[in-house]
Structure 1
């Protein structure tokens, strides 16, 4: 049985709580079921704690993108974040940032600029150097092709505005040496910005869920659990298992698939004493 629109736990921000139709508490799940698996994503976005972060117009990407999905599905939103006629800056060069570019284009943004903290990668990867790891190369999505300016090795220093409303950002170019980032002298610049979307990845699972279950966490805020042995994928709380991003942090879907299969076997062994499921 799939139940959507459900929050597990309490003390969620109002913006999240308003999207849920129901709230379930972990102790109720533990009383009703013989095993519980936490297999959500790493949904806690990485923030940018610079001066002016509180200005109106600076948003997490995932405050922006789900709203458009809901509108596309026919929902009516009272305070949708709209990029129409605005100067938009997207901070972050991954898939989420690309989605912000594409959605802003469809809204009819006046301008769109995307910043990436890392240097511009080569157009063709050095396969012998990076194999078997994910190749580092310049990736241009269909969203980029629709139109935007892209700038690399850029660090945002602060946001500025008037009367609590964002008007511009101040950034600089950086260079990387021996894994350390330093500001390029005399490279500071300003850019007009009405909307800024923070698309810099995710740092951990939603802490309210982990805290509600009372599971032990690692230093990065993920659920602590091993992947081998008799207690594989078991948390510090009896009957509660964990797999994927909620255990390892933000990662690839192939890891989620692998850990999901292995966790299923671990649950089967826990309930039945043995398992024929593949690992």
Structure 2
């Protein structure tokens, strides 16, 4: 460790941001990276604490603590402090195939488990990671490295999200021939169409895909397996098949008036905006627009935040975001100690932008929707809500109870349902003869990833349910090992 007292000598410093009132004028990323010298100082803050909880990736208290891909965080923090950036990226890529993605969109459970964070600000691990990979690209360190020997075995990967890409990358490194099938017109899965451009610039995805192509991976777009790609032929032509097609079945809100026009799933709203942005810089108008509308966002997670930020950029008239859960405390409670994931109130980029424009946070907590009200033409015009209290039921579970007399009406031209996902789409698993679990996810044990169907494996959200990008990479890598073992009788993949 180059600077034993670094965490005491230097203050935590993170990348700057374009001011909210400026950044809502465009869809570009808005972070302003630190200089090389400033980032090296941030690397010096790492304590090399002996037991690096930051890289543990274990489940504690119902959430992940530390990095699910077990990044060698203290090692590459120390390397960038010493100015050894090339060595740092080599260490980083040993565990993470796509640090340029996680460095942008991961919520950083590593920082929540940082030892320095017990009594002070955590190390800026996420930004250190991002700076390492971006500098490596800038300096030409990242170049195609195709396998020197091919095994002749062929593997089909269905889905080009982070799990599918990680599996494909690892399987290709082993020398197997990989073809990735993506049903949409662009590669990247939810990285491409589920995350807005201002959070993850799509050129970063294209840059990585082009590298993977140069390393010998074949990609097929507009290839919807089960529709225009025959599943029987797929099984006949490939030695193994990996299902990595995500948990893309959105959670619905089945209340009165749900069939009114103007109510959309958030994932469709976000996808259309991104596709139109990439196709024509929004000039084709081929997306649901929030311009001039009174918008209601139902759901308080990352997707809800993305809907807030996107609606602001469209030019919405007003916006309210409903969250059925109570507002979290500003600091950890006694029942939420370090190194658990901190269950505390946070203001994300979308809420920050809304407050800059309208002077208040758009979120209303402990609220649920009772019904939608439409006009004479069948379009939504109002949302009726009621407040809830969270109480224990007879089984001891916390459930929401309506508070009498708290019904309220809200104007609405556009309603976006951002309540997460409830499992995988079932058509493809059915065609492949793959069993599903009680949550309609593909049934395959973690660590094995083998389904009941011969030579069919599953990883990522399609197996575990909706989760983080970093978990998808973890599963893709682990699944690749099992595929390699299945094909060769042993594996040398990490």
Instruction: Give me the TM-score of the superposition, normalised by structure 2.
Output: 0.51
Instruction: Sort the Cα spacing of 1:70 and 1:237 in 2 relative to 1 into closer, same or farther, 3 A.
Output: same
Contact (CA 8 Å) 1:115, 1:150: kept in 2 or not? yes
Equivalent of 2:367 in 134, 154, 169: 154
Distance in 1 of aligned mates of 2:428 and 2:340: 32
Partner of 2:182: none
Partner of 2:341: 134
Distance in 1 of aligned mates of 2:442 and 2:266: 24
**How far is 1:264 from its partner?**
0.7
Give per-residue Cα distances to partners, 1:117-136, cap 9 Å, x unaligned. Answer: 10011122337724443221
Structure 2: runs of 5+ lacking an equivalent: 1-217, 355-360, 393-397
Is 1:91 matched up with 2:91?
A: no
Equivalent of 1:249 in 465, 468, 475: 465
Partner of 1:46: 251
> Structure 1 runs of 4+ off > 6 angstroms?
none
Partner of 1:20: none
Question: Following superposition of structure 1 onto structure 2, how do residues 165-244 of structure 1 map, counting pairs within 5 Å?
Answer: 165-178=379-392, 179-228=398-447, 232-244=448-460
Partner of 2:483: 267
Give per-residue Cα distances to partners, 1:64-85, cap 9 Å, x unaligned. Answer: 1111111211346465211011
SS at match of 2:439: coil
Q: Which moved more, 1:194-203 or 1:124-133?
A: 124-133
Instruction: Sort the Cα spacing of 1:130 and 1:244 in 2 relative to 1 into closer, same or farther, 3 A.
Output: farther
- Is the helix fraction higher in 1 or 2? 2
**How far is 1:255 from its partner?**
2.2
Partner of 1:32: 237
Query: Which one has more relative contact order, counting CA pairs under 8 Å at least 6 apart?
Result: 1
**How far is 1:9 from its partner?**
1.4
Give per-residue Cα distances to partners, 1:155-197, cap 9 Å, x unaligned. Answer: 0010001221100010101010120210112111110000000
Distance in 1 of aligned mates of 2:374 and 2:430: 36
SS at match of 2:422: strand
RMSD of the alignment, in Å?
Answer: 1.6
Instruction: Sort the Cα spacing of 1:130 and 1:257 in 2 relative to 1 into closer, same or farther, 3 A.
Output: farther
SS at match of 1:101: helix
Structure 1: runs of 5+ lacking an equivalent: 11-22
Question: Following superposition of structure 1 onto structure 2, how do residues 9-28 of structure 1 map, counting pairs within 5 Å?
Answer: 9-10=226-227, 23-28=228-233
Contact (CA 8 Å) 1:25, 1:212: kept in 2 or not? no
Question: Following superposition of structure 1 onto structure 2, how do residues 109-128 of structure 1 map, counting pairs within 5 Å?
Answer: 109-126=316-333
**How far is 1:209 from its partner?**
2.2
Q: Which moved more, 1:141-150 or 1:103-112?
A: 141-150
SS at match of 1:251: coil
**How far is 1:103 from its partner?**
0.7
Instruction: Sort the Cα spacing of 1:203 and 1:131 in 2 relative to 1 into closer, same or farther, 3 A.
Output: farther
Distance in 2 of aligned mates of 1:132 and 1:40: 32
Q: Which moved more, 1:132-141 or 1:70-79?
A: 70-79
Instruction: Give me the TM-score of the superposition, normalised by structure 1.
Output: 0.90
Contact (CA 8 Å) 1:174, 1:181: kept in 2 or not? yes
**How far is 1:211 from its partner?**
2.0
Give per-residue Cα distances to partners, 1:218-277, cap 9 Å, x unaligned. Answer: 11101111234xxx2111111110011111111222322222121111111111011122
Distance in 1 of aligned mates of 2:337 and 2:284: 45
Distance in 2 of aligned mates of 1:249 and 1:57: 28
Partner of 1:3: 220
Distance in 1 of aligned mates of 2:334 and 2:350: 26
Q: Which moved more, 1:43-52 or 1:144-153?
A: 144-153
Contact (CA 8 Å) 1:130, 1:136: kept in 2 or not? no
Contact (CA 8 Å) 1:86, 1:195: kept in 2 or not? yes
SS at match of 1:144: helix
